[in-house]
Structure 1
Amino acid sequence: MRSEQRVEARSALKYISAPHKLYQTSSFQHLPHTPTTNMAELDRIPPSTTTYVIATAIIAGVSGYFLGQGASLGLFSSKEKEGWPNSYNVKVHRGSSDEEDETEEEEESEEEEGDGSELANFENNNEEVKLVLVVRTDLGMTKGKIAAQCSHATLACYKYLVANPSSSTILRRWERQGQAKIALQTKSEEEMELLQAQAISLGLCARVIQDAGRTQIASGSRTVLGVLGPKSVVDNVTGHLKLL
């Protein structure tokens, strides 16, 4: 009897001295196991294709923005580009069709004389005023030469109208309307002379440029005819010509 009481006392002391063991064995051993996701496993999951696409788009957009800002500020411009057009630092490449000998003198052209008596004022004509530049293609002029001769013809027409106040109205209209200009072609000096005669007979400003002959063509060659006046009147003279 006493031995049984001693066994029970020892068992009670064992439970009292180690309650945590009783708690573990009596409570958690019978709970169902719930699966959980480890954070380390989440870190190992590779990014999806959508994530790559979104990241690439963001990087491209940010890079494009900053590149555009840098270009607008001139950070990527070369030194030669910075000098244009203020310094006119233009290089002529060897072998180009517009290359000229640097030792040649400045090009000069001559204008025909006139008193302006042939000019009409076109007071009753409210059409657009334009300037037609008729260029001879049989002379074989380069693009640069043609541009220079057309500039001479434009200035010749302007100066001729300024020097004759009776036709100042047509000149002011041309300036006010934006100075419309068009370049056409002719293949012979004879046709150019005929066009000039027709323009003069209609009261138009018609000026022919004669080259000084210091660069490409013979001296005294007639290169460009400038005709300025109301559109319909000018078209009566040059309407059949082809564009340059």
Structure 2
Amino acid sequence: MIRLDFPPAFLLAIVVTALASGLGGYYIGAASPRIRDLPAAAPPGSSSSKSASSPLKDSFENISASDAEDNDDDDDDSDDNGALVQSDYSHFGASALTEECKMVLCVRTDLGMTKGKIAAQCGHAVLACYKTVSRHAPLLLKRWEYIGQAKIALKVDSEEELLTLQAQAVSVGLVARVIHDAGRTQIAAGSATVLGIGPGPKSIINQITGHLKLL
């Protein structure tokens, strides 16, 4: 059993200690800043947290779509006839969205480009045509993608022939993009290397390039 007959002096000491501890804690707490008065931490998505983000990250986030489109990294391809392409090739009639579609790549053989160089230039031409058609004829582009994205490489013998084909393609409403080399490797800077035509209805493109031989 617990003894309750403690000496009076012991009980007095306990009471005095308890009172001293209580009063000391009260005054210490009153003198220190209260936690509830402290400013709340900003949530992760607030403006204060954004201000702490790195300038490099912000610079990438603020790049506009038009800036990105204008930043072609290797060769300089001119925006030949983007503004002339009518929306969804409506000028071709209903057949534009029903018949087979293709893209042709007319490669100059007089420049003596290696196979690797030709492949790189054709890649630039495909991208240039794709970007233009995606802005002006998205439905036709989707059809071309759906049926296999046909791309045919053809031979041309000179820059004059290349530019003639481009003018003919533009005259019937086709996308026609000429790629000019940057001149860092095999050929002179500014040389017209590849003409990309399309994607567009096969029958229309054949009117322009049907006489050319396969590369």
TM-score of the pair, normalised by structure 2: 0.61
Give 1:136's aligned amino acid. R
1:202 aligns with 2:172: yes
**Structure 1 CA distance for aligned equivalents of residues 99 and 135 of structure 2:** 23
- Deviation (angstroms), 1:123: 4.3
Q: Is the partner of 1:146 in helix, strand or coil?
A: helix
Provide the residue aligned with 2:123 in structure 1. Answer: 151
The alpha carbon displacement at 1:119 in A equals: 1.6
Residue in structure 1 matched with residue 191 of structure 2 by the alignment: 221
**Structure 1 pair 226–114 and aligned structure 2 pair: CA distance change class (3 A):** closer
2 CA distance for matches of 1:132 and 1:190? 18
Residue equivalent to 1:41: none
Query: 1-side partners of 2:132 and 2:84: how far apart?
Result: 12
Corresponding residue of 2:203 = 232
The letter for the 1-side match of 2:76 is: E
Give 1:115 deviation, angstroms: 6.2
Written as runs of structure 1 = structure 2, the 5 A alignment for 1:78-157 is 108-114=74-80, 116-120=82-86, 121=89, 122-125=92-95, 126-157=98-129
How big is the alpha-carbon RMSD for the aligned residues of Structure 1 and Structure 2?
1.4
Judging changes above 3 Å, is the alpha-carbon distance between structure 1 residues 115 and 134 closer, same or farther for their aligned structure 2 residues? closer
Report if the CA contact (8 A) 1:135-1:186 is conserved: yes
Amino acid corresponding to residue 157 of structure 2 in structure 1: K
> Take 2:120 and 2:179, find their aligned partners in 1: how far apart are those partners?
11
CA distance in 1, matches of 2:123, 2:202: 20
How much does 1:117 deviate? 3.1
Equivalent residues in 2 for 1:18-37, closer than 5 Å: none
Structure 1 or 2, whichever has the larger Rg, is 1
- Taking structure 1 as the reference length, what is the TM-score of the superposition? 0.54
Secondary structure class of the residue paired with 1:196? helix
Q: What residue is the counterpart of 1:180 in the other structure?
A: 150
In structure 2, the residue matched to 1:42 is none
Contact 2:80/2:178 (CA < 8 Å) preserved in 1?
no
Structure 1: unaligned runs, 5 residues or longer: 1-106
Q: Which structure exhibits the higher relative contact order, with contacts defined as CA atoms closer than 8 Å and separated by 6 or more residues?
A: 2
SS of match in other structure, 1:178:
coil
Give the unaligned 5+ runs of structure 2.
1-72
State the number of aligned residues: 136
Q: Alpha-carbon deviations, 1:91-139, whole Å to 9, x = none?
A: xxxxxxxxxxxxxxxx821111256332241341121110100000000
Q: Deviations over 1:144-174 (max 9, x none)?
A: 000000001001100111233xx11211111
Q: In the TM superposition, what whole-angstrom CA distance separates every residue of 1:54-107 from its partner, at most 9, and x where no partner exists?
A: xxxxxxxxxxxxxxxxxxxxxxxxxxxxxxxxxxxxxxxxxxxxxxxxxxxxx8
Which residue number in structure 2 is paired with residue 163 of structure 1? 135
Q: Is the 8 A contact 2:80 2:177 kept in 1?
A: no
Matched-pair contact (CA < 8 Å) for 1:118–1:201: no
Report if aligned partners of 1:153, 1:207 keep a CA contact under 8 Å in 2.
Answer: yes
The AA in structure 2 aligned to 1:225 is: L
Percent of aligned positions that are identical: 60
